[in-house]
């Protein structure tokens, strides 16, 4: 497991941990000045906890929750994220950051939240396969710990489940009724089986202990703010196209995915958590518009007017050949469906990457496999 270190957005670690617990208990002192009185009122509002809050989806969710007036405690162990992703939120008066691993999070640290959102798990295949035990235990032990905390505090739990639940699907598109087809011993199993077990844990805690749970099975999502070294296909292709590096298609590129723009996805999560009946899901959240990986590469080359060539590399083991969500249930239960076309979403994501590349060092973002082999030999941390 990753080392657990105290780090917080304001004050010393000790101060913040204490203040978080105090706020949760609603303790206050008399004789406060106006600023402190306002802080006291804020303290009375139960916070929400976003685990994995510095990750791609987590950081967007934190921003949305803050916009809606929530007090947010962001928990992250920074195993695949960087503090930069939430630098725009750090100074927000209703935002707190806890550098913690969810397997070790305690009730004192989270105070008395009304909801716990669990988005804490590496989601990019190259990252979650790098440390498979951490990946598995984050989903299993981490989920168990969060559900235990939710039970103690009377909080509702959101679990970011995944289309990987369906594995190598034998039905298409995938509905929630489909039980999936996962290789239990393959390289993706640490992620897939961890997420499957997390769903099971959610329902055990709901049925046995009355913890309200909400589960979304999230399909491929992309958008501004993805780490440039994330390794997933959309960001890889965009960075390669802008850098003029070869675009690396794994396999023959006929495998399909369905890409959902991040704002649409966050809207789906919000609706799922806000739904007033006892609908728990699991519910698919994703964009049903399906595209081959090769078409995606061509689309990105065209939009960026890149001179990059498209090259082929070996297909990773157990790479699912097709993936497309059936979102009838999301529409029926949440009146949700994506609003952003792939074209619009790619334009927005490309603009974001361009801006970040202008500010940074292009050589650090090298996704050219030949150059990367060399970087690895030299001990660099390139993907």
Catalytic positions? 191
Specify the stretch interacting with ligand UDP by CB under 6 A; choose among 23-31, 147-155, 175-183, 250-258.
250-258
Specify the stretch interacting with ligand UDP by CB under 6 A; choose among 2-10, 228-236, 303-311, 371-379.
228-236
Is residue 86 a contact point for ligand UDP (CB under 6 A)?
Answer: no
For ligand UDP, which is the closer residue by CB, 275 or 315?
A: 315
**Token pair in block for residue 78:** 């920074």
Rounded CA separation 327/329 (Å)? 5
> Can you spell out the DSSP letters for 261-330?
EHHHHHHHHHHHHH--S-----EEES---EEEHHHHHHHHHHHHT--PPEEEEPPPTT--S---B--HHH
Is residue 118 a contact point for ligand UDP (CB under 6 A)?
Answer: no
Rounded CA separation 167/189 (Å)? 9
Q: Minimum Å distance from CB 232 to ligand UDP?
A: 3
Is residue 236 a contact point for ligand UDP (CB under 6 A)?
Answer: yes
**Residue that has been written with the tokens 């979650």 in this structure:** 128
Is residue 229 a contact point for ligand UDP (CB under 6 A)?
Answer: no
Rounded CA separation 73/8 (Å)? 10
Is residue 324 a contact point for ligand UDP (CB under 6 A)?
Answer: no
Q: Minimum Å distance from CB 361 to ligand UDP?
A: 21
Q: Minimum Å distance from CB 319 to ligand UDP?
A: 5
**Residue that has been written with the tokens 């030949």 in this structure:** 370
Among 174, 248, 304, 366, binds ligand UDP (CB under 6 A): 248
Binding residue count for ligand UDP, defined by CB under 6 A: 14
CB-based contact 129:39 (threshold 8 Å): no
Rounded CA separation 61/77 (Å)? 17
Tell me the three-class secondary structure of 121-147, residue by residue: CCCCHHHHCCCHHHHHHHHHHHHHHHH
Among 50, 73, 147, 249, binds ligand UDP (CB under 6 A): 249
Q: In 3D, which of 23, 11, 52 has the Cα closest to residue 111?
A: 23
Site for ligand UDP in 283-302 (CB under 6 A): 293
175-214 footprint of ligand UDP as x/- string (CB under 6 A): ----------------------------------------
Residues that bind ligand UDP (CB under 6 A): 124-125, 220, 232-233, 236, 248-250, 255, 257, 293, 316, 319
């Amino acid at each position: 497991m990753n080392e657990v270190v105290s780090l917080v957005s304001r004050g010393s670690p000790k101060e913040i941990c204490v203040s978080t617990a105090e706020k949760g208990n609603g303790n206050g002192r008399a004789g406060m000045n106006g600023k402190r009185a306002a802080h006291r009122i804020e303290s009375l509002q139960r916070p929400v906890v976003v685990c994995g809050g510095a990750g791609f989806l987590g950081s967007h969710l934190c921003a949305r929750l803050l916009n809606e007036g929530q007090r947010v405690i962001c928990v992250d162990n920074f195993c695949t994220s960087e503090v930069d992703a939430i630098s725009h939120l750090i100074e927000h008066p209703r935002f707190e950051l806890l550098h913690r691993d969810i397997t070790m999070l305690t009730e004192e640290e989270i105070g008395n939240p009304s909801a716990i959102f669990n988005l804490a798990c590496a989601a990019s295949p190259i990252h979650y396969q790098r440390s498979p035990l951490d990946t598995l235990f984050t989903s299993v032990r981490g989920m168990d710990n969060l559900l235990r905390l939710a039970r103690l505090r009377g909080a509702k739990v959101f679990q970011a489940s995944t289309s990987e639940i369906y594995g190598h699907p034998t039905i298409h598109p995938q509905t929630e009724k489909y039980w999936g087809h996962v290789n239990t011993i393959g390289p993706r199993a640490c992620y897939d089986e961890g997420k499957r077990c997390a769903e099971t844990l959610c329902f055990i805690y709901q049925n046995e202990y009355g913890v309200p749970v909400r589960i979304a099975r999230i399909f491929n999502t992309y958008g501004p703010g993805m780490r440039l070294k994330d390794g997933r296909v959309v960001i890889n292709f965009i960075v390669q196209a802008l850098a003029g590096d070869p675009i690396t298609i794994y396999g023959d590129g006929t495998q399909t995915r369905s890409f959902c723009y991040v704002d649409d996805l966050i809207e789906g999560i919000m609706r799922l958590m806000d739904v007033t009946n006892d609908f728990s899901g699991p519910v698919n959240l994703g964009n049903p518009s399906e595209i081959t990986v090769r078409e995606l590469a061509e689309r990105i080359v065209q939009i960026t007017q890149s001179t990059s060539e498209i090259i082929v590399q070996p297909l990773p083991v157990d790479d699912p050949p097709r993936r497309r969500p059936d979102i009838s249930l999301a529409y029926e239960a949440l009146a949700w469906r994506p609003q952003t076309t792939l074209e619009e979403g790619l334009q927005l994501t490309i603009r974001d990457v361009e801006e970040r590349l202008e500010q940074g060092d292009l050589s650090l973002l090298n996704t050219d496999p030949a150059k990367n082999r060399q970087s690895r030999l030299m001990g660099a941390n390139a993907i």
